[in-house]
């Protein structure tokens, strides 16, 4: 079975601090306006209560449900508003409509079964007992991309934990969702394996293998969309920090005082200066390993399709130009920010030092993110090429068997 698009899983957490007033207005509408007129803040519990209203009342919503069945919004809202723990998570689970129909998720009941199975796994991802994790969900029958919204919170007896999920927890959450989505198919193929016995054994093994490959491919595709596992930037020597600060100061004096802070809009002399700064940064020891792993992934991916050294070199040069452009935009934005600071009389040297440190960190994270994408692309390309080779070999064996039967 070939999916038309990637399985989509979005996870966001909320704490007592409100960081997105626009989202509050979007979810709460009249509740937000009333709170604003009364000059009071809306805490995270009230924000989640408003989100419940959005989940239930949105057009094509089938109402709220949890692990025990369908629930009344007023009962859940009361519990959410009065809970002890302020942290909560909001999940969106979505499939392309064509893919959902292929895998049997064509009714409210099937989506509810999927969410209930997955939320048992999500409790394990959080490292908590299932009885400590409370949740409520709503299925939205949206044409083209049916999906479920899930609001998750902790009961009052649950141990305290942070809201932000680590890279490994996000990865485990994605894998758990892929397993649960494909579970009905896995069970179906396992039943076919038992019924077919020896006559169908090889084919059933192949189907199970293809399913495992599909799960792996789905995981890699999600990694391409939203890479996880970006490493923490290392500490950079004081001498390099001072050198970068000096180069950004020189760049700032060359930059125009207005316009968009993007490399493509800069004068030629600014582009050349930025190029020198980027090359200097990439030559630092702290960047060497990540850059080499990025280029190695590009080379391996290109070798899947060609053994021509010139084409491999061209792909590597193209990838290098792309990463230089990305880092160049970070440098230009740093120069523009410094330009703004120079226009403020109360500027301080410590702010410039912090800015330089952030430039190093931003550049490292940008490079490492592209490295993760390149490695995922390389693995996908190798997997797809191996599947093509296996299909060719299978057709060749079938053709040979047909010729042998004709001879007899």
Residue 96: is it exposed, middle or buried by C-beta count within 10 angstroms (0-12/13-18/19+)? middle
The string of DSSP codes covering 100-122 is HHHTT--SHHHHHHHHHHHHHHH
Residue 269 has pLDDT above 90, yes or no: yes
Say what the pLDDT of residue 198 is.
47
Reported as a single tens digit per residue, the pLDDT across 134-161 is 998 888 888 888 888 888 888 888 888 8
- For residue 388, give Cα distances in angstroms to 178, 319, 343, 360, 395: 24, 26, 60, 42, 11
| Residues 62, 139 contacting (CB under 8 angstroms) | yes
Question: Could you give the residue range(s) of every CATH 3.30.930 domain in the chain?
Answer: 8-225
Say what the pLDDT of residue 17 is.
32
Say what the pLDDT of residue 16 is.
47
The C-alpha torsion from 368 through 373 and 379 to 381, rounded to 10°, is: -140
Binned at pLDDT 50, 70 and 90, residue 7 comes out as: low
Other CB atoms within a 10 A radius of the CB of residue 324 amount to 17
Instruction: Give the pLDDT mean for 372-399.
Output: 82
Reported as a single tens digit per residue, the pLDDT across 276-297 is 998 998 888 888 888 888 888 8
Instruction: Give the pLDDT mean for 207-220.
Output: 64
| Residues 47, 55 contacting (CB under 8 angstroms) | no
Q: In what helix (H) or strand (E) does residue 8 lie, and over which residues does it extend? A: strand 8-14
Instruction: Give the pLDDT mean for 247-264.
Output: 84
Say what the pLDDT of residue 34 is.
41
Mean pLDDT of the chain: 76
Residue 23 has pLDDT above 50, yes or no: no
The string of DSSP codes covering 66-104 is ETTEE--HHHHHHHHHT-S---EEEEEEE--HHHHHHTT
Query: What pairing do the DSSP bridges indicate for beta strands 8-14 and 61-66?
Result: unpaired
Q: Two tokens at 365?
A: 């994270």
Beta bridge partners of 61: 140
Beta bridge partners of 149: 92, 138
- What DSSP state is assigned to residue 137? E
CATH 3.30.930 applies to domain 8-225: yes
Percent of the chain with pLDDT over 70: 70
CA distance 368 to 180: 30
Q: What is the pTM of this model?
A: 0.51
| Residues 50, 33 contacting (CB under 8 angstroms) | no
Query: What pairing do the DSSP bridges indicate for beta strands 69-70 and 133-140?
Result: unpaired
């Amino acid at each position: 079975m070939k999916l038309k698009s990637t399985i989509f899983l979005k996870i966001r957490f909320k704490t007592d601090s409100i960081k997105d007033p626009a989202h509050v207005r979007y979810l709460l509408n009249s509740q937000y306006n009333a709170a604003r007129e009364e000059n009071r803040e809306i805490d995270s519990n009230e924000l989640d209560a408003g989100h419940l209203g959005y989940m239930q009342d949105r057009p094509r919503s089938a109402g709220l449900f949890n692990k025990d069945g369908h629930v009344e919004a007023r009962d859940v809202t009361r519990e959410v508003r009065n809970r002890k723990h302020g942290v909560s998570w909001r999940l969106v689970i979505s499939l392309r409509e064509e893919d959902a129909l292929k895998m049997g998720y064509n009714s409210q009941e099937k989506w509810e079964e999927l969410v209930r199975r997955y939320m048992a796994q999500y409790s394990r991802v959080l490292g908590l007992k299932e009885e400590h994790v409370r949740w409520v969900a709503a299925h939205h029958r949206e044409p083209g991309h049916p999906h479920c919204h899930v609001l998750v919170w902790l009961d009052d007896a649950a141990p305290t934990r942070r809201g932000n999920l680590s890279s490994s927890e996000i990865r485990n959450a994605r894998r758990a969702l892929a397993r649960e989505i494909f579970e009905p198919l896995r069970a179906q193929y396992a039943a076919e394996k038992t019924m077919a016995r020896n006559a169908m054994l090889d084919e059933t093994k192949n189907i199970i293998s293809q399913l495992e490959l599909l799960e792996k491919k789905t995981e890699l595709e999600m990694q391409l969309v939203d890479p996880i596992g970006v490493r923490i930037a290392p500490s950079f020597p004081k001498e390099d920090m001072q050198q970068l600060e000096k180069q950004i100061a020189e760049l700032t004096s060359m930059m125009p005082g207005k316009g968009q802070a993007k490399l493509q809009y800069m004068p030629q002399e600014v582009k050349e200066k930025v190029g020198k700064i980027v090359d200097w940064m990439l030559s630092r020891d702290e960047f060497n390993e990540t850059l080499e792993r990025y280029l190695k992934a590009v080379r391996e991916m290109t070798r899947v399709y060609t053994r021509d050294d010139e084409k491999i070199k061209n792909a590597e040069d193209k990838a290098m130009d792309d990463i230089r452009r990305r880092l160049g935009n970070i440098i230009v934005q740093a120069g523009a920010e410094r330009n703004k600071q120079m226009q403020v009389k109360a500027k301080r040297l410590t702010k410039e030092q912090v800015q330089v440190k952030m430039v190093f960190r931003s550049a490292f994270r940008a490079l490492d993110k592209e490295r993760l994408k390149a490695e995922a692309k390389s693995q996908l390309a190798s997997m797809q090429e191996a599947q093509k080779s296996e299909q060719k070999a299978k057709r060749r064996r079938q053709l040979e068997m047909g010729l042998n039967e004709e001879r007899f």
